[in-house]
Amino acid sequence: MSQFQHIEATELPTLMTQHRVLLVDVRNEDEVMRGRIPHAIHIPLSMLPVQYQQLEDASHVVFYCHSGVRSALAADFAASKGSAHVYNLTGGVIAWAKAGYDFVNQ
């Protein structure tokens, strides 16, 4: 069974200062256009199986979506492929915004 961890929005900045973290936004294009977490790349969940090679060199990967459901699927997929240090951002961009963090536009 694949294994990934959940990370809270308030814990993510610390993880990013301690490790080289790849943030992956798995939302749809229209959602991403409303803003994304700084330094994130966009790979829609439906495209993750064919664009997975973009993640292979990352030591830590954090997936996020709107509320954390789709990103949990993405994290499970990445963990099943053997990626270590895979995280799902609990609560997605909703939690990120509630924690008071900023977004950037495309």
Q: Give the integer Cα–Cα distance in Å for 41 and 62.
A: 11
Q: Which two tokens stand for residue 41?
A: 């790349």
Tens of pLDDT along 49-68? 999 999 988 899 999 999 99
Active site residue 65: yes
Sheet with 60-64, side-by-side order of all strands: 5-7, 86-89, 60-64, 21-25, 41-42
Q: Which of 58, 65, 74, 78 is catalytic?
A: 65
The dotted CATH code for 5-98 is 3.40.250.10
Tens of pLDDT along 66-75? 999 999 999 9
Residue spans of the domains in the chain: they are 5-98
pTM for the model: 0.95
